[in-house]
Amino acid sequence: MNPLDYAYTVTFVLLGAAVLLTLYRLVRGPSVMDRLVCLNAVSVLLVTFIAVEVALRGDHAYIGLVITFALLGFIGSLTAARFAERRAHDRG
């Protein structure tokens, strides 16, 4: 194994740990906004995971998938922000 393979392995382990910790926070929660932020973080971690996999394999076929997940995460964040704004406005 060359040093780059070790770097990829460490990156995947750290991304996996980050996803597990984020999913734990998603379940524990206490508020809806915490859960929405966690979903956004999971989408960013998923995009990062796929991007590292693309770099590891050197296959650029998954770039469209990376862009799709990034756009879906962005749209989800916008939807969550609008939800939070409306909820705050309704409360007074």
Number of structural domains in the chain: 1
In the block, residue with structure tokens 């998603």? 26
Please give the average per-residue pLDDT across 16-36, as a whole number. Answer: 88
Q: Tell me how far apart the alpha carbons of residues 84 and 32 are, in angstroms, rounded to a whole number.
A: 9
11 is in which domain, residue-wise? 3-91
Q: What percent of the chain has pLDDT over 70?
A: 99
pTM for the predicted model, two decimal places: 0.79
The pLDDT value given to residue 87: 77
State how far the alpha carbon of 79 is from the alpha carbons of 15, 39, 42, 73, in Å: 25, 12, 16, 10
Span 68-92, pLDDT tens digits: 989 988 898 888 888 877 877 777 6
3-state secondary structure labels for all residues of 39-53: HHHHHHHHHHHHHHH
